[in-house]
Structure 1
Amino acid sequence: MEVKPFNCEVCNKTFMTSTRLLIHQRIHTGEKPFRCEICEMFFTQSSHLLSHQKIHTGEKSFMCQVCNKSFAQLSTLRVHQRVHTGEKPFICNVCSKSFSQSSNLHAHQRIHTGKKPYICEVCNASFSYPSNLRKHQYLHTGKKPFKCEVCDQAFAMLATLVTHQHIHTGEKPFKCEVCKKSFSQSWTLLEHQRIHTGEKPFKCEVCNKSFTRSSALLQHQRIHTGEKPFLCGVCNKSFLRSSTLLEHQRIHTGENPFMCDVCDKLFSRSSTLVVHRRIHTGEKPFTCDVCDKSFSDSSNLRKHQRIHTEEKPFTCEECNKSFSRSSKRLWHQSIHQE
């Protein structure tokens, strides 16, 4: 039996050499004596620092024999090879979802536990992942060490830089195996795949409604809280979503960035342009399930359906007479004003 004479006094794990024990003890002490002089990341081992520095030098000495993609670290190559083999050896004991990397499994398990072990020492904000903490900390320091060589735009995270570079190269390396659609970012592919699987892992604790994206859940929760964090600097009107604020601001600027390629008419919203184009194409995708009449936009279908349902949701405040359309109520109210 192999003798390991060097014993850790904290967890009783044993090691063959005093050097391995010393390195191990840094797990307990948090000591990271090896610093990258470019981005100031710290590491417990000099070998980890050397591997990390290849990110900055661009050196990639480990090549995949299947697709010829190169990597800075052997461990990264081994993880990558699972893309070709389909191997996912790490399984969640709660929901049985499997992963190609142990780190992805650990990160996933925090969905079940709600654990956020990474805390910012400046503002005490907590995070599920160390990468999110590092990204957050740049808000305090303002540091953006990763720079695009094409357009000089700088980024706080290497992953953000890599994703940004796809804009210049047009590369879309992440491919859906179901419909073959390609994406420039891995997280966009992950969100897309939920269309096929029907998975909605983000659940509202108030009404139990589920969502495919965490951002969609965050927006939904504002319905319950009443929060409208996006404020117009001109009229102080506030909105649930940044996209809605952007559309609203065009009222003040007069900007109409969406042009019809048939008649050159301009629109402030892409959705309005989509509806307008149907004038030229004749497309009427919204069909009444009662009489099969078709319409170019969903709002006209809803108005039409009130013929069948006899719904009259617009009520005159003067005489309580009801109408199927707001325009009819508006015309009616002019009678009271005469």
Structure 2
Amino acid sequence: MEGKPLNSELCDQDFTQSLTPIGHQHIPTGEKPFKCKMCHKSFSQSRTLLKHRCIHKGEESFMCEVCHKSFSRSMNLHRHQRIHTGEKPFTCEVCEKSFSDSSNFRVHQRIHTGEKPFTCQVCDKSFSQLSSLQVHQVIHTGEKPFKCEICDKAYTTSTRLLMHQSIHTGEKPFRCEVCEVSFIESSELLIHQRIHTGEKPFKCEVCKKSFSQSSSLHTHQRIHTGERPFTCELCNKSFPYSSSLRVHIRSHTGERPFRCEVCDKSFSHLMSLRVHQCIHTREKPFTGEVCEKAFTQLQSILQHQTIHTGE
């Protein structure tokens, strides 16, 4: 005999079994009266507790025939089997990319919809994934939960810790398939590969010159903007490049780090050393376009060319 419909006072949902609305009402109230005697974990519904107990009993009756991994629920086994079959039943209607898991599919769709349901309560910045929000929140808390066991240096994310650990292990997991040079980070490999492909995706809007790295474009743009962000603390002279500032500082310190291995003479510029070395090698790399006379120094050939130009 069919029971009389019962009604939930919280959400107006009807039930035909007398126990159902009682278990249902724990969901909106947040009450969790069903507690596991083994681990003391609490649940809002008795059926959820029953499923949980399988963990302690070892009742994993659904086994994968390929790798023999066991699961307590058939739906978990079915999801797992897609690893072996390669099945990807969830396809994006916008870009036709497919996914094996519905949760990954939902996250992907936010790329197209722009939906960002996870919001930081401190600064109101929103994210498409909960994991991204959790990583962001460390900015406000200052927490660095991922610590290196060798040097105790701490990081906000596990990814940054793994990158750091390669300093100790010497591991370089990202290898170029063309020349077999290895790198610590995947981003370094990506930049390196442009040497082989010739790809230069970063273009200057002023002179249309292209670069393989965004940092190189940023440095180049100072030619057009006249920006000189590197200033000498001794004489306040400014330079567009950090390397130019380093060379300039040697005029104050007297440092000459480039030494000739033949005569031990030292120079503040690498180029000055290379020009000097021509004295010992007798090399004359600078050749005139008119008479093809060769010189060891650029200054010498510029002076010689005045004979032909009459300047």
Band of TM-score, shorter chain:
0.5 to 0.7
Q: Which residue of 2 is the match for residue 184 of structure 1?
A: 100
In structure 1, distance between residues paired with 2:84 and 2:163: 27
Question: Is 1:27 aligned to residue 15 of structure 2?
Answer: no
Q: Which of residues 155, 168, 182 is equivalent to 1:252?
A: 168
In structure 1, distance between residues paired with 2:136 and 2:146: 14
The percentage of counterpart residues that share the same residue type is 51
Q: Which residue of 2 is the match for residue 170 of structure 1?
A: 86
- CA change 1:293–1:229 in 2 (3 A) is same
The offset of 1:277, in angstroms, is 0.9
- CA change 1:335–1:229 in 2 (3 A) is farther
Q: Which residue of 1 is the match for residue 258 of structure 2?
A: none
The correspondence of residues 164-243 of structure 1 with structure 2, limited to 5 A, is: 164-243=80-159
Flag the structure with larger Rg: 2
Deviations 1:67-96 (Å, cap 9, x if unpaired)? xxxxxxxxxxxxxxxxxxxxxxxxxxxxxx
* SS across alignment from 1:307: helix
- CA change 1:270–1:10 in 2 (3 A) is closer
Contact 1:117 1:126 in 2 (8 A): no
The correspondence of residues 317-328 of structure 1 with structure 2, limited to 5 A, is: 322-328=238-244
- CA change 1:148–1:214 in 2 (3 A) is same
Contact 1:176 1:182 in 2 (8 A): yes
The correspondence of residues 123-134 of structure 1 with structure 2, limited to 5 A, is: none
In structure 2, distance between residues paired with 1:208 and 1:228: 22
In structure 2, distance between residues paired with 1:249 and 1:332: 36
Contact 2:8 2:25 in 1 (8 A): no
User: TM-score with structure 1 length normalisation?
Assistant: 0.57
In structure 1, distance between residues paired with 2:85 and 2:127: 32
The offset of 1:278, in angstroms, is 0.7
In structure 1, distance between residues paired with 2:126 and 2:215: 26
The offset of 1:259, in angstroms, is 1.6
Contact 2:90 2:100 in 1 (8 A): yes
User: TM-score with structure 2 length normalisation?
Assistant: 0.61
Contact 2:146 2:155 in 1 (8 A): yes
Contact 2:227 2:240 in 1 (8 A): yes
Letter in 2 for 1:262: V
Q: Which residue of 1 is the match for residue 307 of structure 2?
A: none
The offset of 1:281, in angstroms, is 0.8
The offset of 1:326, in angstroms, is 3.9
Deviations 1:291-324 (Å, cap 9, x if unpaired)? 3221112222222233333444455566665544
The offset of 1:190, in angstroms, is 1.1
Flag structure 1 segments of 5+ consecutive residues without an equivalent.
Answer: 31-105
Letter in 2 for 1:190: R
Contact 1:144 1:154 in 2 (8 A): no
Contact 1:116 1:126 in 2 (8 A): no
Contact 2:203 2:210 in 1 (8 A): yes
- CA change 1:234–1:294 in 2 (3 A) is same
The offset of 1:227, in angstroms, is 1.3
Deviations 1:137-182 (Å, cap 9, x if unpaired)? 89x9797947644334567887665444332222222110111111
Q: Which of residues 270, 278, 287 is equivalent to 2:186?
A: 270
In structure 2, distance between residues paired with 1:307 and 1:154: 64
Count of equivalent residues:
243
Letter in 2 for 1:234: I
Flag structure 2 segments of 5+ consecutive residues without an equivalent.
Answer: 256-311
Q: Which residue of 2 is the match for residue 101 of structure 1?
A: none
In structure 1, distance between residues paired with 2:103 and 2:185: 26
Letter in 2 for 1:270: S
Contact 2:7 2:21 in 1 (8 A): no
Q: Which residue of 1 is the match for residue 264 of structure 2?
A: none
In structure 2, distance between residues paired with 1:120 and 1:24: 15
Deviations 1:102-128 (Å, cap 9, x if unpaired)? xxxx9xxx9xxxx9666996999999x
* SS across alignment from 1:150: coil
